[in-house]
Amino acid sequence: MMKRVLFLCSSNRYRSRFAEHLFNWLVNRDGLRCNATSCGLSVGRRRDNGPMSLRAIEGLKARGVPVPGISRCPQQVSEADLVQADLIIALHESEHRATMENLFPRWANHVEYWHIEGHDNTGREPGLSLLENEVRALVARLQTKKEQPSPRTVRLRASTVLV
């Protein structure tokens, strides 16, 4: 059975899209029966919403990852998206847990929260290397442990902050 991973960030332009494409490329390369999608928790509330971030596209291309579907507009997460996922990962706990509790209180504790910031206080977007490391660690975890992700399993990661 195919495992479905759902990556969540705020606007579904940068972090979650990068994670989705990188994850799908890695699992396809390694022959794993997994697939990722991505959505945003606050799509349309930010003025910079549009297709996928150029920084995410450039980051993927620099890693040799093909980037199909870059013109897809960000997608707002729905409960149906959560139901269909075997593993839900929100990319920044302090930013996304409260939103999950607000929008989907039944689901907030069924999410694995990472600690990948989208912006620092200067407004700069961080590098993608920490996010890449987390995605690669997830793929390795799925390979070696043959883990059966479940939305009922909560896994918390060590705190990581991008600067």
Can you give the pTM of this predicted structure?
A: 0.83
- Fold of the domain built from segment(s) 3-144: Rossmann fold (3.40.50)
Burial of 130 (0-12, 13-18, 19+ CB in 10 A): middle
For residue range 132-156, what is the model confidence (pLDDT) as tens digits? 999 999 999 998 865 444 444 444 3
Q: What is the pLDDT of residue 122?
A: 41
Q: What are phi and psi of 75, to 5 degrees?
A: -115, 130
Q: What is the pLDDT of residue 71?
A: 83
In the block, tokens 């883990």 appear at 147
> Per-residue pLDDT averaged across 16-22, rounded?
96
| Reported confidence tier of residue 63, pLDDT bands at 50, 70, 90 | very high
pLDDT higher at 64 or 124: 64
Nearest residue to 55 via CA among 10, 11, 13:
13
137-142 contacts at long range (C-beta below 8 A, 24 or more positions apart): 138/5, 138/23, 138/89, 139/23, 139/26, 139/27, 139/30, 139/32, 139/34, 142/3, 142/27, 142/32, 142/34
